[in-house]
Amino acid sequence: MSVTIKDVARRAGVSPSTVSRVISKHPRISKETAERVTRVMEELGYHPNSMAKGLVSKATYILGVILPRPAEELFQNYFFHEVLRGILAQANRSGYDLLIASGSSESDELETVKRLVRGRRVDGIILLSSKTKDPLIHFLNEVGFPFVIIGRSPDFPDAPTVDNDNVQAAYDATRHLINQGHERIGFVSGPQELTVSQDRLTGYRQAMLEAGLSISEDWIVEGEFLQETGYRAMSMLMNLPERPTALVVIDDIVAFGVLHGLNELGYSVPQDMCLVGFNNISLSEHTSPPLTSVDIGTYQIGYMTAQTLIKTISKEPLHQTRKIIPHRLIVRGSSVK
């Protein structure tokens, strides 16, 4: 069997209590004892049993990450992988492990969260996307369990969140196209219930309005965060009598689909259509032409989210419950003629 604290104690000639104190670096322990115990622990390859430790200290040092529900689909979105990297990096740095979970349906997802929370399987929870009327947020808020949302929650404005200023980001993207002389600009959006879709659409509308440009509702297409969405949108958009000359696209992945769709229809970018995407994923500089994209600091979002959650868990005061990660427009060939 495994080495326990008793084995270490016996071998070091001290009590289990003392070994425990050495592990937790209790101040009132003599240097000699500490050293001897430490040596024995290494000799025996001792590691504290995480469950016994967790049972008494009521902490698991595990952060739970809930993948967005239609996980099978959305997990294809490279945003999540980058965000996960950021979360993992910060979690590890602070001595936390990551547990990832998902649900196959909305109720299944809620069940999973309840199990994680009530079963004390994790110390806190990260929600990777935010939408309106989310029962998970409702539950977490009600039971007062530590959690952080990536995005924002219109229904629970006090919940800790890490987000971009998506209204401004889309405004900037649209403004960039207006500056290039475009007047007919469309918007390819994501699922309507997601706040990120709502906010970017708002920013787009604002920029257009402010520039005195009118929007045809035909220019606004809604879909999933998949290439398919962009691909299909093109056969529709390009058939319009008055089609747009530029598009703001909610996600680089979708923009790849747009690029492919245009290509197949015989149009070229940026001559026939200019494009701006979001997320600036690593592939974006390797398309032809390279894709102009709003870098939203995805890794940093993950990093900051983990940091915020860990602070919440340790009951450190948050300077601000709603953190905003800065964005930056990266101009490449797809948007300048």
Binding site for its own copies (CB under 8 A): 2-3, 45-52, 54-55, 60, 62, 67, 71-72, 75-76, 78, 80-81, 84-85, 88-89, 92, 97-102, 104, 114-115, 117-121, 226-227, 231, 253, 256-257, 259-260, 263, 282-283, 286-288
* Spatial separation of the C-alpha atoms in residues 229 and 257, rounded to whole Å: 7
- What's the token pair of residue 265? 């229809």
Residue 16 interacts, among its own copies, DNA, none and using kind-specific CB cut-offs from 5 to 8 Å, with: DNA
- In the complex, least distance from residue 85 CB atom to its own copies, rounded to whole angstroms: 5
Residue 33 binds DNA (CB under 7 A) = yes
Using CB under 7 A, pick the residue from 25, 32, 45, 286 that binds DNA.
32
Task: Give the number of other Cβ atoms within 10 Å of residue 295's Cβ.
Answer: 18
Sign of the Cα torsion 68, 71, 73, 74 reads positive
| Of 55 and 331, CB closest to DNA | 55
- What's the token pair of residue 302? 């993950």
- What's the token pair of residue 153? 């929650």
Q: Which amino acid is at 49?
A: N
Omega prior to 146 cis, within 30 of 0: no
Residue 286 and residue 334 in contact, taking contact as beta carbons nearer than 8 Å: no
- What's the token pair of residue 139? 């539950």
Residue 255 and residue 192 in contact, taking contact as beta carbons nearer than 8 Å: no
Residue 107 binds DNA (CB under 7 A) = no
Q: Binders of DNA among 40-79, rule CB under 7 A?
A: 46, 48-49, 52-53, 55-57
End-to-end CA distance of the chain: 69
| Of 12 and 170, CB closest to its own copies | 12
| Of 3 and 34, CB closest to its own copies | 3
Question: Which stretch in 7-15, 79-87, 255-263, 298-306 sits in contact with DNA by CB under 7 A?
Answer: 7-15
Residues that bind DNA (CB under 7 A): 1-6, 13-21, 23-24, 26-30, 32-34, 46, 48-49, 52-53, 55-57
